[in-house]
Chain A
Amino acid sequence: MEKLTMKERYDEFISRFGWPRIIIGMFLLFLFIVAPFVGVSVSTSLSDTINRFGMNCILVLAMVPMIHSGCGLNFGLPLGIIAGLLGATLSLQFEFVGASSFAMAIVFATPFALLFGWGYGKLLNKVKGGEMMIATYVGFSSVAFMCMMWLLLPYSNPTMVWGFEGKGLRTTISTEGYYLHILNDFLAIPIGDHFTFPTGMILFFALLAFLVWAFLHTKKGTAMTAVGSNPIFAKASGINIDKIRILSVMMSTWLGAIGILVYQQSFGFIQLYMGPFFMALPAVSAILIGGASVNKASIPNVIIGTFLFQGILTMTPSVMNSAIQTDMSEVIRIIVSNGMILYALTRKTEATR
């Protein structure tokens, strides 16, 4: 008959969710409540939020395997994104159109992602304990390296290269005529005038999320969790830690590559050069907002986190602008997202990994 009192339940709820998450959730709720009063359409906002959720959630999902194997937050996400960009540009180069261009982009991106992930994983195994900082800079240097490559690689599709020189890729390439909205429009359900549910994109995410979830429940997957949560125990039970870690990094990198392709098909543009540069930070803070920590993450964390983060990103500018004629959203975004990362990095329980 041990019934929890309200107070205890309340405390448990707070400790499980953590204050920052509650505050952010409340803030988002507040924005949605205020929105109609300042003349912002809720259905449009909700539609935008869900759309952006779909665009970003696979990039956030890409955090999960590496966190599980104890490699920390994947600040090296740009590496995966670059694999995706290579896939995208190659698919365009060979002039695949429609759905096949998207499929081929995935096909082309995969070997790069696996190769990059393998090398990246090897590197991270050499620097255990300092992964996050090095991951950040691996991401940065690979983006900078690819900047040179985009200029030099012999692409020739006229929609992609600079018109007057006939060589060197443009900074942004439209996916129109290739795979623009290929997932967004698949089985899309229009509800009302301003709300469209991008079924295909969400389904695609659900599929990948399910695969990751299923994988984490296989023998290999549990081994991966073991490596992350208790490396000494994992070693004792005969798991090859280094191999498992490399596998996790390869998975993360591949998910990053797929993530950017999904992002592009909805966004409409392939952003090259410095485009992927700061893409890791939003993804990292999204999963942290969702309740993940430096060494623990789950699929619900991804979903909740992406929704909250993208929700705030969509809602603050429109509500703020209508309410006080000032757009503070950029500043709020910077403070919230980096504040979340700091919060995660400084929590005592996680510092002992």
Chain B
Amino acid sequence: MTRRTIVRISALVVILLLAFAMLRIGRQHSILLDDKTVTVQGQEYKALDMVEVKVDKQDSVELVKRDRDVAVVTGQSHKIKVTYTDAQWNEIELERKIKIPFDKEMIVFSVPAFIENPDDDTYYLMPFETTSVGN
């Protein structure tokens, strides 16, 4: 292999890596912020009466029971901050980083499930199924 070929191949690799990076960084996802009663892994999580959700630096949204809102984000890592009042009227603020799977264009973020298990995203991040529309 000549030096020329090496340079060419590495340039190609760099470009491909760049393309791949761009694909990841620029990929747009919709996070459906859900405040509904859900059953995950055999456990039921009750919807909250009122909750405030803030994704990254976007305006925070307020959700009442059975509400759904959408946050459109680019990239896979995001910060989600949930503020709610518990039964004892304490205002609680939960903030976590979430990672959206690259291949999911839409993902449901279940607020009630998140509050109970904020450290395990298998509970509160779930794929969006079109059949759930209209429920």
Do A and B have CB atoms closer than 8 angstroms in the complex?
no
